[in-house]
Amino acid sequence: MRIGFCDDDRFILSKMEQEIRKFMDGEGIECAFFAFDSEGGLLRFMQDKELDLLFLDIEMPGKGGIGLAKEIGMSHPECEIAFCTNYLEFATEVYETRHCYYILKKEFARRLPDVIRKVRLERGREGDKLCLKHRSGNELVPKKEIVYIERRGKKSYVYLEDGGCRETTAKLDEILAELRSDSFARCHNSYIVALDKVMKYSRQQLLLQGGVRLSISRPYVDSIRQAFARWNWKKM
């Protein structure tokens, strides 16, 4: 688990890290820690890196914790946020943002186990979702709703069971790696298919639910056959 904490008080940062390390070591949970004493340092880090959990002080110079949470929530919806503060007066304001916990600093050690357990539960749920990257931010899409994915031009298009479509700049190889599932396979340079959405399968073509037909290109004939074999074996 990758955990970050942002507070302009370095003493508090050190104390929080000690408490988290103590708990995680006791639970046998592997962790990486990242401490930030300013919003600038945090935002630079998150330009190209991810966190599973971020503890945010509410009273900080600049945007403050609530402003930071709104910005990070847009660009990194997979990051769980826990607010830490000395005061209860901010409790109503934080409900305008997506967050998983609100903790008084004096209760941090006592409340920490609940936060970690909740985040680990959410992590398990999000393992069933695909994170699509856009220029304006990221979006989580349930994998079970995906029918197929098409690469066209400089974008990839994710087609869903309800007829909807989501677009992303990620390439198919990147998406397949992100899916991390035997339920998806390449059948063509331009397509990834959800195997459970295939209604009929021949050597040259796949018929999907909804009547969509996808070609199987020659380089993928053997690999798609093997993908179906693995997927069917795991269902047994």
Q: Please give the pLDDT value at position 218.
A: 92
Task: Give the least confident one: 45-49, 59-63, 142-146.
Answer: 59-63
Question: Within 10 Å of residue 112's Cβ, how many Cβ atoms?
Answer: 20
Q: How are beta strands 191-194 and 146-152 bridged, if at all?
A: antiparallel
Phi and psi angles of residue 31, each rounded to the nearest 5 degrees, phi first: -145, 150
CATH class of 2-126: alpha beta
- Is the pLDDT at 236 greater than 70? The verdict is no
Structure tokens at 43: 């935002």
∠ CA 93-99-101, nearest 5°, is 90
Phi and psi angles of residue 147, each rounded to the nearest 5 degrees, phi first: -100, -55
Strand order in the sheet with 198-201: 198-201, 205-208, 213-215
Q: Please give the pLDDT value at position 79.
A: 84
Average pLDDT of span 189-197: 94
The pLDDT confidence band at residue 126, using thresholds 50, 70 and 90, is: low
The pLDDT confidence band at residue 64, using thresholds 50, 70 and 90, is: confident
- Is the pLDDT at 198 greater than 70? The verdict is yes
Average pLDDT of span 31-56: 87
List, in order, residues 6 or more apart from 151 with CB less than 8 Å away: 157, 171, 172, 189, 190, 191
* Long-range contacts, stretch 119-125, CB < 8 angstroms, 24+ apart: 119/1, 119/52, 119/53, 119/80, 120/1, 120/29, 122/80, 123/1, 123/52
Would you call 154 helix, strand, or coil by DSSP? coil
Which alpha helices (H) appear in 127-191, and where do they start and end? 172-179
Question: Within the chain, which residue ranges are assigned CATH 2.40.50.1020?
Answer: 130-235
If we measure between CA atoms, which residue out of 69, 176, 138 comes closest to residue 187? 176
Residue 62, sorted as left (phi over 0), alpha (psi -120 to 50) or beta, turns out to be left
Interatomic CA distance for residues 201 and 205, integer angstroms: 6
∠ CA 53-47-116, nearest 5°, is 5
State the chain's mean pLDDT as an integer: 84
CATH topology of domain 130-235: OB fold (Dihydrolipoamide Acetyltransferase, E2P) (2.40.50)
Q: What's the whole-model pTM score?
A: 0.55
Task: Evaluate whether 162 touches 142 at the Cβ level (below 8 Å).
Answer: no
The pLDDT confidence band at residue 158, using thresholds 50, 70 and 90, is: very high
DSSP annotation of 189 reads T
Question: Within the chain, which residue ranges are assigned CATH 3.40.50.2300?
Answer: 2-126
